[in-house]
Chains A and B, each alone.
Chain A
Amino acid sequence: MPSYLIREHQVEKEQHDILSEVTSGDYKYGFVTDIEMETAPKGLNEDIIRFISSKKNEPAWMLEYRLKSYRKWLEMTPPGWAHLKINDIDYQDIIYYAAPKPKKELQSLDEVDPELLRTFEKLGISLEEQKRLSGVAVDAVIDSVSVKTTFSETLAGLGIIFCSFSEAVQKHPELVKQYMGMAVPYGDNYFAALNSAVFSDGSFCYIPKGVRCPIELSTYFRINAAGTGQFERTLIVADEGSYVSYMEGCTAPMRDENQLHAAVVEILAMKDAEVKYSTVQNWYPGNKKGEGGIYNFVTKRGICKGNNSKISWTQVETGSAITWKYPSVVLLGDHTTGEFYSVAVTNHHQQADTGTKMIHLGKHTKSTIISKGISAGLSNNSYRGLVRMGKKAEQSRNFSQCDSLLLGDQCGAHTFPYIKVENKSSIVEHEATTSKISDEQLFYCMQRGIGTESAIGLIVNGYAKEVLNKLPMEFAVEAQKLLSVSLEGSVG
């Protein structure tokens, strides 16, 4: 989440930090006026949806979209095919609207859970970031607002729209109306329908024709970004010949009172456009006994609409009690490219069922899938992927590599590759391996003075390297540390 822009200011900030820590007793402008809290009653019905829509001051078409989605959702049942054990979710026991509430502000890091601070330290997160993430009051002078402002001015100059989804509904209704639901229709699946009915907020991004976005777009920079919500909605549209690299998520552990998360991400790439989407997911996975933890049901799909367009998904999944996520690409245009690079780590009682779908419809289309599953503890980690070569997708190719790494012998790794080829000129290649961290490898590291935890970190990062290399530099360093931290205590 912190980006290189922030890093540049870091030295200066750290000095400020020390200063403000020393004098924190005198800083009183940590106070935030009590925002009027407005919360919908528990449960879901059409009135609740009207309430959400009116709170957000939405146009009629948006409300209609939500209602239509809700009615569809009522007819649907949760999918049962994933390799997951899920307790029944009581959808009437959930609050679907709460005005964004500021985290309770703390006066200094001393008030933060020491366990959390240790994790921050291991992840190499700066003091400044630590404070921001754990809700400690940050001095106005060193707040990153000014950085964010310069940042958004740069973007505006290029005609790039990057704002919250709610803001886009107000300011760019024609774009939202045109593209929303194009990649993930409201009735696509149970969780997508639910999201389409009740989505809280998220990000909207539009890159105009021929524009190369000069910076990694990170949700971190979105002005007024409220904390990531339960039902996020992201829409990225890359117009002809444009390019954008977009990052979402955060390596720092994220806690949330809401157990159920159902996000939707849609990407549309027009002719000659390229979208690189990277994410790190580190939601609270529950405790070591498997209690609590976030259920994360995400629908992510991109459409390579125009010829020669390219969409690539890179994900590092370490959090959540349950992860259900299949970022997909529909290769509609000719000569389009879809990529999926994934590292999914499960430890303790975590369960992940993740993978991708590459739907080849255009001619000469190409897709690559590299999936690295790492399971430890009592966890279960499944790769589920579909590669489909349509009748007209002549001369298309897919290469899939699905590797599983096991730590210990009580965890599970599963691979479910589905392949459908409907023409004769396309080639699909699938490779899969399962391996273990060997005692020999660990001993070799330890004999050089490297402790068990670092040794595991080293070996696991080596294993996941191909994927980590696809992340923006900045993110990659943090992701590496995250992998090590996630697997702590998994051997020995």
Chain B
Amino acid sequence: MLSIKNLHVSVHHKEIIRGLSLEVNAGEVHAIMGPNGTGKSTLAAVIAGKEVFEVTSGEIIYKSRNLLEMAVEERASEGIFLGFQYPVEIPGVSMTNFMKTAVNEQRKYKGLDPLTASEFLALMEAKKKLVDIQSKLTNRSVNEGFSGGEKKKNEIFQMAMLEPTLAILDETDSGLDIDALKVVANGVNALRRPDNAFIVITHYQRLLDYIVPDVVHVLYEGRIVKTGGKELALELEEKGYEWLKESNS
């Protein structure tokens, strides 16, 4: 589904991703772990198409297409979803209106008619249940005044609404208490299907108790330095990231 080969990415002439390769197949859940500042969010943003990040070499193929040639909103409509590490606030725009616009723009891209108001509301009710999000959250402005936990749950809610093919969750677990963490994990698990895939970026292995990954990668200084099964996450938890530095210097 997603194939990244020898990717190099710079921001303001500073190289952040330095030769990264990654293969993600349908039905898989990949976890990417690694210390702060190693380029995890950068990788997520590049896949989503954020412009400040300049791809200097390498390629990203998604569903057999050159992803790097696609516009941000096109990537989204083709099923790429990014759960942001720091979701931004959009004052005055209700979640309902925001989601309705997003759902219908994606439908338009696919050549489908927009959902009617009642169809949309029914969809929203169903997805709210799925991710256990409170009704009042969708009446409020996008992320405005949301607590950290609410913001993260809101990302999962949006993911459920948009039913992506490839969802990248960037530290969606950070700062969550155990209940919120379960909500996030349950959301992901409920949406797992043989034809979609997840990349879960996390700092802690805690989340991986609830979302069981097929593959775990360790990202360090812009490269994937180690790949393994779910036991790798436990190993990291025990040893910390220090040993990486030694084995890579």
Q: Which residues of A contact B (CB under 8 A)?
A: 438-441, 443-452, 454, 458-459, 461-466
Chain A: interface secondary structure?
helix
Question: What residue in chain A is nearest B94 (Cβ atoms)?
Answer: A462
Contact A462 B73 (CB under 8 A): no
Tell which of B10-18, B95-103, B131-139, B197-205 binds the partner.
Answer: B95-103
A443-B50, A446-B76, A450-B73 known; A438 and B102 CB under 8 Å? no
Partner among B52, B90, B162 whose Cβ is within 8 Å of the Cβ of A444:
B90
Does B88 sit within 8 A of A, measured CB to CB?
Answer: yes
Collect the chain A residues with CB atoms within 8 Å of residue B87's CB.
444
Size of interface on B: residues with Cβ below 8 Å to A:
30
B170 to chain A, nearest CB (A): 11
User: Chain B contacts of A454 at CB under 8 A?
Assistant: 101, 105
B139-152 contact mask (Cβ, 8 Å, vs A): 1 or 0: 00110000000000
- The contact string, 1 if C-beta is below 8 Å from chain A, for chain B 59-79, is 000000000000111001100
B93–A449 CB distance below 8 A: no
B106 interface neighbour in A440, A449, A461, A466, Cβ under 8 Å: A449
- Known contacts: A444-B87, A463-B91, A465-B92. The answer to whether A458 contacts B101 by CB under 8 A is yes
CB within 8 A of B102: which of A448, A461, A462?
A448
Given A443-B50, A444-B84, A458-B98: A451 touches B73 (CB 8 Å cut-off): yes
Residue numbers in A under 8 Å from B102 (CB-CB): 445, 448-450
From B52, B92, B158, A448 is in contact (CB under 8 Å) with: B158
Please name all residues of chain A whose beta carbon is closer than 8 Å to the beta carbon of B73 when the two chains form the complex.
Answer: 446-447, 449-452
CB-CB under 8 A from A450, the residues of chain B are 73, 101-102, 105
Bound-state Cα–Cα, A487 to B172, Å: 34
Kindly list chain B residues whose C-beta atoms are within 8 Å of the C-beta of A440. 88
B48 on the interface (CB 8 Å rule)? yes
Chain B residues contacting A441 (CB-CB under 8 Å) are 88, 90
Sort A-B residue pairs by CB-CB distance and give the 6 closest, nearest first: A462-B92, A462-B93, A448-B102, A449-B76, A465-B92, A449-B106
Question: CB-CB < 8 A to A438: which residues of B?
Answer: 88
Q: A444-B87, A458-B97 are in contact. Are A449 and B92 (CB under 8 A)?
A: no
Q: In the docked arrangement, what's the CA distance between A443 and B71, Å?
A: 11
Judge if B82 is at the interface, Cβ distance under 8 Å: yes
Q: Specify which chain B residues have a CB less than 8 angstroms from the CB of A465 in the assembled complex.
A: 92-93
B87, B91, B92, B105 pick with most chain A CB within 10 angstroms: B92
- A461–B92 CB distance below 8 A: yes
Known contacts A458-B93, A459-B93, A462-B141; is-contact A449 B105 (Cβ 8 Å): yes
Distance in Å from the Cβ of A462 to the closest Cβ of chain B?
A: 3
Interchain nearest-CB distance for A432 vs B (Å): 16
Q: Which B residues touch A447, using CB under 8 A?
A: 48-49, 72-73, 76, 81-82, 84
Give residues of chain B (79-128) contacting chain A, Cβ–Cβ below 8 Å.
Answer: 81-82, 84, 87-88, 90-93, 97-99, 101-102, 105-106, 109
| B71: A residues at CB distance < 8 A | 446
Tell me the complex Cα distance, A398–B70, Å. 51
B72 and A443 within 8 A (CB): yes
Q: What would 11 more interface pairs be, CB under 8 Å, given A452-B73, A458-B97?
A: A444-B84, A444-B87, A445-B102, A449-B106, A450-B101, A458-B93, A461-B92, A462-B90, A462-B93, A464-B92, A466-B92
